[in-house]
Amino acid sequence: MSKNIIKPTLLYILISGIVLLVIIPLLYLTTVSFSNSLEINSFPKKIVPSFSETILVKYDDESELYLIQRRTPRGDVEDIYLFSDFEKASKYLKDYLNIFASKEKLETDFSAAKTSSEAIELKYKKKMFNNYIKFFQVFQGADTALYNSVKAAIYTILISAIFGGFVGYALARTKIKGKEAVSMATLVVRMFPIVSISVPMAVLLIKYGMFDTMLGISIIYSIPNIGLTAWITRSIFLSVNKELEEASMVFGATKMQTFFKITFPLVIPAFAASSMYAFITAWNDTAVALLLTDRNQTLALLIYKSIGTSSSMHYAASGAILLILPALVFTFLLKNYINKIWG
């Protein structure tokens, strides 16, 4: 009897342990991305993001100055800002605490401190996505980088689908010889480190006038993806009912018409899957973009370069979250193809 309880309990403890191991780092990353400039420098850091910030305000009659204080995670009180000008105070709270309060609001809120001998406690809502907006201001060219990432992904999708689709069709539907050789070749191509190819590629791209362009790096991203698209589409072309195509031709459709009206709609899911894979390759890459671009960086590359800027790590964390989200969505959509995309 007791054995029946112990085993599942242990299993659940183990499973929760694994889940926590995966979740906790990600939770901290998310929290940092919502942190204000004071939280990012405090220790120990919070696991879950806080939605508001409590400040203490004191007024000194002699100097006629307000003092803003804050409780540290350890429970001490630290002075953070001394001021007389509410305009500047409003700006300070916005820049360092992600609190958006107008000068007038602060004046009325803080007036209670004048009459009180003790510090008064005030709670303000944090503007949660402020870091995400700041990310684009702090890191110059982040918006262009985002645009470039999308552009590179789209080029990669198109190149892979067009070149790979033809091969997939040929492998499934025609009696070409050397199918083995083709499948072997695609595997060998995938084995070659893409960074190794990028170095000599730089010279070629300069020659072709494609260095530092998104088209240039998309070509590299397409190298493993064309083979993969060929594989995914091949299996789908094999499964499309041939009789359906023959029937269409019996009714007088040309082979072209048959292909575009019957076969193609049926294989769209395969192209969707390989497009998502192509998107992930382009979106997640840093190395190729680093070697083959100069001024036109991608979002992943910008995040990579942001590592040196220790004072704005919370903005970098927001950028990292922005980078993660699309990759996450597409990976989940692709999970049926996990064996192939993984590597």
Partner 1 sequence: MNNQLSKKNIFKSPYLLLGPALLFYLMFWFFPVILSLIQSFTATTGEFSFINYQRMFSSPDFPKAFLNTITFAFVSLILQFVIALGLALLVNKNFKGSKLFLFIMLIPMALPQSAIGILWNLGLQQTGWINSFMQKIGLQSLLESMKIINGRIIWKDVSGMKAVFMLILIDTWTVTPSVMIIMLAGLQNFNNEYKEAAQVFGATKFQALKDVVIPIIKPSLITALLLRLISGLQVWLIGVMIFGFERTPFLLERIVYYSNKLRTEESYKVAVSYSVFTLIVVLVSAIIFVKLFKGKDWREE
Q: Which of residues 276-295 bind partner 1 (CB under 8 A)?
A: 280, 283-287, 290-291
Q: Does 342 bind partner 1 (CB under 8 A)?
A: yes
- Torsion, CA 105, CA 107, CA 110, CA 113, rounded to 10: -160
* 296 belongs to the binding site for partner 1 (CB under 8 A): no
Among 6, 65, 77, 203, binds partner 1 (CB under 8 A): 203
* Residue 122 or 224 with smaller CB distance to partner 1: 224
Per-residue interface string for the shown chain with partner 1, residues 211-250, x marking contact by CB under 8 A: --------xx-xx--x---x------------------x-
Cβ proximity to partner 1: between 14 and 77 the closer is 14
Q: Which of 196, 243, 251, 295 binds partner 1 (CB under 8 A)?
A: 196
Which positions from 56 through 95 interact with partner 1, judged by CB under 8 A?
A: none
Give the alpha-carbon dihedral of 190, 287, 320, 28, to 10 degrees.
Answer: 80
Choose, by CB under 8 A, the member of 13, 44, 76, 123 that binds partner 1: 44
**Residue 28, Cβ neighbours under 10 Å: how many?**
15
Backbone angles phi, psi at 281, to 5 degrees: -55, -50
What is the token pair recorded at 326? 């699309």
* 3-state secondary structure at position 70: strand
To partner 1, the closest distance from the beta carbon of 22 in angstroms equals 6
Residue with tokens 């190819």: 197
Task: Please report how close the Cβ of residue 272 comes to partner 1 at its closest, in angstroms.
Answer: 17
Per CB under 8 A, does 13 bind partner 1? no
Candidate ranges 56-64, 91-99, 107-115, 330-338; the one touching partner 1 (CB under 8 A): 330-338
Q: Which of 297, 303, 294 is nearest to 324 (CA)?
A: 303
- 3-state secondary structure string, 91-116? HHHHHHHCECCCHHHHHHHHHHHHHC
Least separation in angstroms between residue 251's CB and partner 1 is 13
Q: How far is the CB of 70 from partner 1 (least distance, A)?
A: 16
Output the CA–CA distances (angstroms, integers) from residue 49 to 43, 106, 141, 319, in the order listed.
14, 24, 28, 16
Among 5, 108, 118, 343, interactor with partner 1 by CB under 8 A: 343
| From 51, 193, 243, 295, residue interacting with partner 1 (rule: CB under 8 A) | 193
Based on C-alpha coordinates, what's the Rg of the chain? 29
- 158 near partner 1 (CB under 8 A): no
| Among the residue ranges 55-63, 84-92, 112-120, 170-178, the one whose residues contact partner 1 (CB under 8 A) | 170-178
Q: What are residue 123's DSSP bridge partners?
A: 54
Angle at 45 between CA 312 and CA 36, to 5 degrees: 40
Q: Is the Cβ of residue 107 or residue 246 nearer to partner 1 in the bound state?
A: 246
Binding to partner 1 by residue 184, rule CB under 8 A? yes
Q: Give the shortest CB-97-to-partner 1 separation in angstroms.
A: 18
Q: Considering only the stretches 17-25, 82-90, 237-245, 271-279, report the one whose residues sit in contact with partner 1 under the rule CB under 8 A.
A: 17-25
Q: How far is the CB of 202 from partner 1 (least distance, A)?
A: 7
Q: Cα(225)–Cα(190) distance, rounded to whole angstroms?
A: 9
Q: Which of 37, 50, 144, 331 binds partner 1 (CB under 8 A)?
A: 331
Binding status of residue 300 toward partner 1 by CB under 8 A: yes
Q: Contact between 150 and partner 1 (CB under 8 A)?
A: no
Task: Read off φ and ψ for residue 176, nearest 5 degrees.
Answer: -70, 150
Structural contact between residues 148 and 212, judged by C-beta atoms closer than 8 angstroms: no
- Helices marked H in the chain: 2-33, 86-97, 103-115, 130-138, 142-173, 179-191, 194-208, 214-239, 242-250, 255-258, 264-284, 287-292, 299-305, 313-333, 338-341
